[in-house]
């Protein structure tokens, strides 16, 4: 049973009255609904939202554009060290900048998505990205979303949520999302791609996708985004009644 709170009960003012600036970690596989949910949650709480996948995507774009092989570990690490990736929240939405250039749309291209795995499984690249993400999240009042936030980036996060959904539901969501963008894809290969990404994300030795021991599990298969946000708000309220009244 999901207890719904009104916007008034959860106004920014109530959060700002308290000194607490929680770090909320949201992890889960592709298509679990975590990006939309995390973004809406952050907006509702007046917190900063950080999509950590954008870091791995932006670096991958840079590697591909430079004609470097994603498998060339040493060169990829050098690039990671010398690359500036920033995310700015603008009125029209979050924008991702790679060395000062807006790459928000480019980092979502399928050829980028398909080239990420060797880069995101490189432990030295992960260490660089994790440090940058910690710097951004350290002062709190943040909703950070990814694969290893509750386990590696912020193992002491105030609230950890692990979102999941059945593979069929996730493939269905992706199929619909692509249709909305005017892209027609067969369901079966799309489902296979998601299964492959799951496999790569969970099997890598550095920062694998897995729930932290103290994560709250959230299966979103039959839930709307609004229900997902409500669920997390309730979990936050349970842990910090003084923060969310």
Which residue, 35 or 44, has its beta carbon nearer to ligand DC?
A: 35
Handedness of CA 26, 32, 38, 44 (dihedral sign): negative
- Rounded Cα distance between 149 and 27, Å, is 6
Contact 21, 29 (CB under 8 A): no
Residue from the set 24, 25, 26, 30 that interacts with ligand DC by CB under 6 A: 30
Looking at beta carbons only, is 60 or 230 nearer to ligand DC?
60
Site string for ligand DC, 163-202 (x = CB under 6 A): ----------------------------------x---x-
Q: How far is the CB of 229 from ligand DC (least distance, A)?
A: 18
Sign of the C-alpha dihedral computed for residues 60, 65, 66 and 72 taken in this order: positive
Question: Binding residue for ligand DC (CB under 6 A) from 104, 146, 151, 229?
Answer: 146
Stretch that binds ligand DC, among 17-25, 88-96, 146-154, 225-233 (CB under 6 A): 146-154
Contact between 56 and ligand DC by CB under 6 A: the answer reads yes
Q: Does 116 bind ligand DC (CB under 6 A)?
A: yes
> Residue 13 and residue 191: Cα distance in Å, rounded?
43
Residue 219 in 3-state DSSP?
strand
Interface residue with ligand DC, options 23, 44, 47, 53 (CB under 6 A): 53
Which of 10, 41, 50, 148: binder of ligand DC (CB under 6 A)? 148
Report how far apart, in Å, the C-alpha atoms of 168 and of each of 38, 107, 171, 193 are: 22, 25, 5, 12
Antiparallel, parallel or unpaired: β 159-164 and 216-219: parallel
User: Whose Cβ is closer to ligand DC: residue 148's or residue 169's?
Assistant: 148
Residue at token pair 């067969």: 186
Residues near ligand DC (CB under 6 A): 30, 52-53, 56-57, 116, 120, 146-148, 197, 201
């Amino acid at each position: 049973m999901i207890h719904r709170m009104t916007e008034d009960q959860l106004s920014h003012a109530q959060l700002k009255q308290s000194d607490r600036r929680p770090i909320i970690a949201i992890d889960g596989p592709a298509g679990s609904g975590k990006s939309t949910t995390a973004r809406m949650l952050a907006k509702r709480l007046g917190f900063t939202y950080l999509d950590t996948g954008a870091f791995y995507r932006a670096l991958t774009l840079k590697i591909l554009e430079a004609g470097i092989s994603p498998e060339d570990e040493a060169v990829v690490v050098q690039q990671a060290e010398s690359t500036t990736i920033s995310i700015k929240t603008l009125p029209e939405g979050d924008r991702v900048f790679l060395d000062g250039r807006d790459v928000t749309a480019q980092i979502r291209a399928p050829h980028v998505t398909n080239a990420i795995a060797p880069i995101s499984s490189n432990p030295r690249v992960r260490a660089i990205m994790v440090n940058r993400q910690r710097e951004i999240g350290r002062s709190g009042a943040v909703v950070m979303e990814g694969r290893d936030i509750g386990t590696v980036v912020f193992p002491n996060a105030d609230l950890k949520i692990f979102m999941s959904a059945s593979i069929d539901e996730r493939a269905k969501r992706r199929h619909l999302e692509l249709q909305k963008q005017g892209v027609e894809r067969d369901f079966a290969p799309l489902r296979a791609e998601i299964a492959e990404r799951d496999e790569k994300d969970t099997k890598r030795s550095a920062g694998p996708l897995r729930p932290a021991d103290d994560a709250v599990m959230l299966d979103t298969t039959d839930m709307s985004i609004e229900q997902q946000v409500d669920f997390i708000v309730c979990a936050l309220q349970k842990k910090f009644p003084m923060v969310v009244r």
